[in-house]
Amino acid sequence: MSRIRRMRRSRFLASSIGVTCAAALALPAALPATASAATPTDSSSTAIQALAQPSTPTRPLALAPAAGSTQSLPLVPLGVDRNLGPAAPEQGLGKRDVRSFSLVGVVWDNPDAELEGRVQVRARATDTARWSGWQDVETHNHEHAADPDTAERSSGRVRGSTAPLWVGDSDGVEVRVRAEIRGRTAAPGVQLLPDGLRLELVDPGVAASDGAAGPAAVTGAAHTTEPPPVGTVDTPRLGALTVESAAASAVNADLAPLGSTTIAALSRKETVERLATAVPGAKPYIGPRPRIVTRAGWGADEKLRERDFRYTKRVSAAFVHHTASGNNYKCAQAPSVIRSIYRYHVVSSGWRDIGYNFLVDKCGNIYEGRAGGVAKAVMGAHTLGFNTNSMGIAVIGSFGTTKPPAVSVKAVAQLTAWKLGLYGANPKGKTYLTSGGGNLYPKGKKVRLNVISGHRDGFATECPGGRLYGKLGTARSEAARLQGR
């Protein structure tokens, strides 16, 4: 009987993560109804509101999005076979001056086509004559995507793409793409590279939040500007909200005031007490809510993404990723990196929003990813075939040979202890997910997975890198401990 009671409580928790109508009431009257979030499949309740109310001030509001941009340059044939045109086995661009950018990637027309080869870029630091050495760009990126047969995948806007690479402030670029087909020798004139290769140069722009993240943010240091209490509206601040930014913030309005740049951390005692207030007798296994930087906090331009939100029924598993964007960034630059990845996913790759549900930087800061509400079961585009009933957490960096920072692994544990706890999931346990189709499991197959899995557990890929994958056992144990297991 005790097991049945636990199951019922878990289901109650899961059903309480809906988008609350109260959040929409916080929107200014002038905003049209489309600014509010689409209702997910689960019903709403007051339980998560009780869990969510912050006991410490959040950071001041920073509502103005950064004005970033994207340059898209078609590649041209290179080398001795340049006369072959699109069939040339090497394409690229020679050294050239360009407008300022900080992140690069290569895209092509057909999202189902593989780029079997090597992509290398070099960049010139802004206002200098200093060129970097050649840097490899991760070409195997199609496994980070929406599931087959979903509206996002079949929109007609999706392109094939490499992983993005962060190069820092630059105003010169050179790129080369070489076909490398293992075990095959192509006949002369046979096209080896996909059609429509383009170099994408992303400028994240400058946001008020830049430089706000960092070691001080992890400690939860207090800030002098206190926002209004949850459920209230500060009219002067609200005036800066756009329809899109209001909608993205409203789905978190039961956790923090509208337009907040962070969601404050709670202790485990506070988290459990507030749940017990809403659900008398409940004794959940749940970790303390960690501090989360919102989309407003990292300066998301909400006009880029699709306006509505997509949800799944619950969060039964967390897939851990690395962004494969390199480790050459400072924590103060993390919001810029995230804005760049967001723009690359939406503008260059044709996705509806950034693919990951959450991101973690090298200083252990946690960031809201895809819009829809951090406590909600938001449908992401992170693990091809397993985006339903899961969430994706990306640690910013490349961890094939580089050891991930301990604070980043700890942040993954803190986030999963809380978020999985909302849905009654044991971080050290197993769960079943149904494959939407991929290269490891056919569509429709029920697969037994760790509740905290690496991307490679659901798809044949190197992600999240061997060194980060090797730390998932530590994350599972720590998350379970934080839940009180």
Mean pLDDT of all residues belonging to the chain: 82
Token pair of 457 as six digits: 């557990």
Higher pLDDT, 89 or 31: 89
Query: Which of 94-98, 114-118, 294-298 shows the lowest mean pLDDT across its residues?
Result: 114-118
* Confidence band for 260, pLDDT divided at 50, 70 and 90: very high
Q: Is residue 62 pLDDT above 90, yes or no?
A: no
**191 pLDDT more than 90:** no
pLDDT in tens, 349-393: 999 999 999 999 999 999 999 999 999 999 999 998 899 999 999
pTM above 0.75? Answer: yes
Mean pLDDT of 113-129: 95
What is the distance between the alpha carbons of residues 387 and 385, in angstroms, rounded to a whole number? 6
Type and span of the H or E element at 269: helix 268-278
Phi-psi label, residue 214: left if phi above 0, alpha if psi -120 to 50, beta otherwise: left
Does 122 score more than 90 pLDDT?
yes
Mean pLDDT computed over 168-184: 88
Contacts of 159 (CB under 8 A, 6+ apart): 107, 108, 109, 110, 111, 196, 348, 349, 350
pLDDT at 59 > cutoff 60: no
Confidence band, pLDDT 50/70/90 cuts, at residue 50: very low
